[in-house]
């Protein structure tokens, strides 16, 4: 056999090898995709039997509206989740368990979140608020609403209460994003690049997340151990949907649109913050996060702060509050501000303290 024939044979072997490898990878991906969808269906069936599934149409897709509590209450508390919070039903359950005998709750999963269907519709603040309002009406839940946003949910809620004030009885901000200075937020890197995130979303659609993703990390801060199973179960469905990527793409548009919509009004608002601006408070704050990191096997070294570092952090936080928090409060109007030191998901970390604050606030409404 000549050199030319040998080269042809080697190239053929290499081609066959890579073709076989490609076929194996495609078959594995297809198998994993099917396995993932079968498991998702089993999870949804299980949660449906437990009464957590209540999907309604918002036009192009369905959203889940979980209703809980006293349906005779004079208004409904609508939870608006934070960015990427896929298990809102579980996140809030320790809190809603404490208040369900007196209040009616609607836990609406945004597009792609929790038990709701994903979408490629641009997740602008206008679209998101429209979906919430449409889903509530489709579920037969009429206003007035008490909006209870967490984190980035505060952006959507700020726009909602400013644009449709007649629908809103009150607002309870749970450590929500403050948008008193959009330029400051943008300059500080508030918006992330979504290229890597979109790659992860593709892998989630295939089912790779079932191998690489640990849902236990998403419930480590729960005070109620029995709620963790529910949270981990919901997180299994899709940790990173398309809609989540779109939210990130539109985050500064949403902040600026919400900020532009604001004008002080008389709607009562309770703002609960987890970060104090005192030395002792910040010391307690870092101590909590250090213990949480140690419990979950994470790196706790960041939270080892000297007294000088804590003092510097307090000064930075005071400056942030002057630049961003206070202007936000001023633009909202009628805000009661309180502090409960703890995890960003304060309602899951310290549900009793939050329930007392919420109950006292709502009891004061006329």
pLDDT for 12-70, tens place per residue?
Answer: 766 777 666 667 766 666 665 666 666 777 788 888 899 999 999 999 999 999 999 99
pLDDT for 123-139, tens place per residue?
Answer: 999 999 999 999 999 99
Q: How far apart are CA 172 and CA 92, in angstroms?
A: 14
Query: Are the C-beta atoms of residues 81 and 110 closer than 8 Å to each other?
Result: yes
Alpha-carbon separation of residue 79 from 19, 43, 95, 154, 219 (angstroms): 50, 23, 11, 10, 18
> Quick check: bond before 144 cis, omega within 30?
yes
Instruction: Look at residues 146, 155, 174 and name the one whose alpha carbon lies nearest to residue 272.
Output: 174
Bridge pairing between strands 104-108 and 62-69: antiparallel
Bridge pairing between strands 335-339 and 269-273: parallel
Alpha-carbon separation of residue 292 from 219, 220, 230, 310 (angstroms): 11, 8, 20, 19
Task: Please tell me whether residue 233 adopts helix, strand or coil conformation.
Answer: helix
Residue 3 is predicted with a pLDDT of: 59
Residue 2 is predicted with a pLDDT of: 60
Topology (CATH level 3) of domain 54-276+336-363: Rossmann fold (3.40.50)
**Scanning the structure block, which residue is given the tokens 């607002």?**
171
Residue 94 is predicted with a pLDDT of: 96
Residue 29 is predicted with a pLDDT of: 62
- Which residues have CB under 8 Å from 227's CB, separation 6+? 90, 93, 94, 219, 348
Q: Per-domain residue ranges for the chain? A: 1-49, 54-276+336-363
Positions in the chain short of pLDDT 50: none
Q: How far apart are CA 224 and CA 216, in angstroms?
A: 14
First and final CA of the chain: distance in angstroms? 96
Q: How many CB atoms lie within 10 A of CB 354?
A: 24
pTM over 0.75: yes
Helix axes 153-163, 251-261, angle to 10 degrees: 30
Q: How far apart are CA 341 and CA 37, in angstroms?
A: 40
Residue 25 is predicted with a pLDDT of: 65
């Amino acid at each position: 056999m000549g050199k030319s024939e040998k080269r042809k044979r080697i190239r053929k072997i290499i081609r066959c090898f890579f073709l076989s490898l490609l076929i194996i990878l495609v078959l594995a991906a297809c198998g994993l995709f099917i396995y993932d969808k079968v498991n998702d269906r089993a999870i949804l069936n299980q949660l449906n039997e437990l009464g957590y599934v209540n999907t309604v149409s918002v036009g192009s897709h369905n959203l889940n509206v979980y209703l809980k509590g006293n349906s005779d209450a004079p208004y409904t508390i609508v939870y608006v989740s934070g960015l990427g919070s896929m298990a809102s039903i579980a996140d809030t359950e320790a809190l809603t368990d404490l208040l369900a005998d007196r209040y009616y709750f609607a836990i609406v999963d945004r597009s792609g979140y929790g038990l709701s269907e994903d979408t490629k519709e641009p997740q602008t603040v206008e679209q998101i608020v429209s979906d919430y309002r449409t889903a509530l009406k489709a579920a037969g839940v009429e206003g007035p609403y008490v909006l209870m946003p967490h984190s980035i949910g505060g952006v959507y809620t700020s726009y909602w209460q400013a644009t449709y004030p007649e629908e809103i009885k009150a607002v309870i901000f749970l450590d929500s994003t403050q948008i008193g200075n959009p330029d400051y937020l943008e300059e500080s890197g508030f918006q992330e690049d979504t290229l890597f995130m979109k790659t992860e979303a593709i892998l989630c659609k295939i089912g790779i997340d079932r191998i690489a993703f640990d849902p236990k990390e998403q419930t480590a801060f729960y005070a109620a151990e029995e709620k963790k199973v529910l949270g981990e179960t919901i997180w299994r469905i899709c940790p990173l949907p398309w809609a989540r990527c779109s939210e990130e793409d539109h985050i500064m548009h949403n902040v600026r649109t919400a900020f532009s919509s604001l004008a002080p009004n008389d709607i009562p608002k309770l703002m609960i913050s987890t970060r104090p601006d005192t030395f002792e408070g910040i010391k307690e704050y870092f101590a909590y996060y250090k213990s949480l990191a140690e419990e979950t096997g994470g790196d706790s070294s960041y939270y080892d702060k000297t007294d000088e570092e804590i003092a510097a952090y307090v000064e930075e936080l005071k400056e942030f509050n002057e630049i961003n928090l206070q202007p936000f409060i001023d633009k909202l109007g009628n805000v009661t501000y309180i502090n409960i030191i703890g995890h960003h998901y304060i309602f899951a970390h310290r549900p009793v303290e939050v329930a007392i604050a919420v109950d006292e606030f709502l009891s004061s409404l006329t």
